Structure 1
């Protein structure tokens, strides 16, 4: 039985999407590569409905970050390459990256921003923080970030593997509420529906077990991933507290239903932990320094889940760098620490802006990474009963 014979609207009954305000949408090469002219390239046939979904989400105040494959496919259409291999793929990615961004810009009225990430960007704390700050600012400006792996400089041992795993990493990076993965089939089946007519749809998965991974087929001939890589990505997102929705990006009706928060596909639940893996790490990572805050800042952190602004800082202890873990203490209590978080500025810079308004940061320092000393997305509260 061919894949096109399986109708996701019938195979996967509608179920509600989890509530979300910010989502990462991953679109693979198989949904973008065109064959109408016989020379490959990029085709808008499936991309248009996905773009309409993103525009509809933006219209309701939601934010979407797009992780898009397709650079290699676009580059392959521009030159007579032949063969395969890492170096060739890197060259094709360089050739096709500009075309890929132009392709998405053609489908959106809002600005589209290219962001290329590598393994080191997500492993190094300072580069990780810089990437977070850039993506936050792009979203604040109303732009659509289009993310791809930096294939041109990546090597095998440092590659993120495929854009499914990259999308899971980006979902954690931007503190997304939901990971959406557009596929070329309806969702997860008990077997490959292209080969087994008895393959049963799996609309709801609580855990990604070895048995579930065993249902996945191999990679397709266009992209680098397959259903297994999508399930591995969903497993990583789940550990970060993020649910994943797999759906057929070839079916315009399925994509349109997403706009009404209805999923015809497979939903993989997030893990049961109440904190993301990164915030669990923040709880226990060694602190490089300490900030003491006034009562107003302490109340804002605990009662409202606010960011720590420089105006609330009354003392700085220790020497720390931007991206280091630091503790926050209430000036009214000697112990225990109130919170932990990642410093947006180093110790010397915080000393200079302590007690000042956020609007004064750039005038005082000559630059500005953001309005907060610790952004709420990079902060975990330690006081029992405090607001998350």
Structure 2
């Protein structure tokens, strides 16, 4: 049986990536710092994924174990793995890189010639490339040469909504039916992994930006507008007629930019948007607007889900009025429990909205900045 180490035993790790690996015949070792979760996984050796959608069903996940990712045992597990995946968040990737590097050095010392592949399943553009850079910074010259030959680093795009719903058993997970996992073939070494639900693709950026400019763009605008109106969850926010209209229009604007850039079929992309919005309406997920809206500085950055699609569409001379509303709403996000939200509001308080927006978004287009500030003021 092939073995996979899944860094991150949180909801995405258990409800999406780890579950698919187990269902594809892998022995899955979850690596995490959360002792309670790791202990429970080792005690039960199984958990349940509750698929809550139009059709509800339960999936039993087996062939699993857990290891503390900070302990030497984690190095041993990685050194004997065929595949390493992550779902930990971009900021954590550099922290797990030394452990992965030590495992690669151990494989080299043991004379292992079978390839091992790494796939960082993060909600970001080219997360695996960022992991590779951090891993190589921790490798010896010999280790780098070995990794060049025997360790694959494949970028991917992932999409599944896994809200923090509490179950009777705290390692069980609630997920939606829909998921997408697109992996760039060129980064893999040896035989391609045979994983249920994984799609191997050549042009990954088209899939990354399709997801980022559609799901992530619409999701966060729904969250920020819902938060402004005191609506607690995504399904209730998208049920608001005015919010639905703004979000739908923003997703069409971002989609028009994608169609120009990648030549997507307009009818198929319109159907994709329609499917995404239907996912927002899923009443079973109860996805908090505070979860979806968290880390607004990252979401307002030049390469992320609000500004990048705005600049892409604007670059083709296309309308961006509703994307601008989304950016204005994001600037209002005020959550004392979110470090980035606190920093955002401090910047606005100290510099004013326009200067803060210019710094955070990286925008130099005066007209777009004026429009964002105007929408910000209207949303007051």
TM class by smaller structure: under 0.3
Which structure: greater helix fraction? 2
Relative contact order: is structure 1 or structure 2 higher (C-alpha 8 Å, sep ≥ 6)?
Answer: 1
- Structure 1 or 2, whichever has the larger Rg, is 1
TM-score normalised per structure 1: 0.26
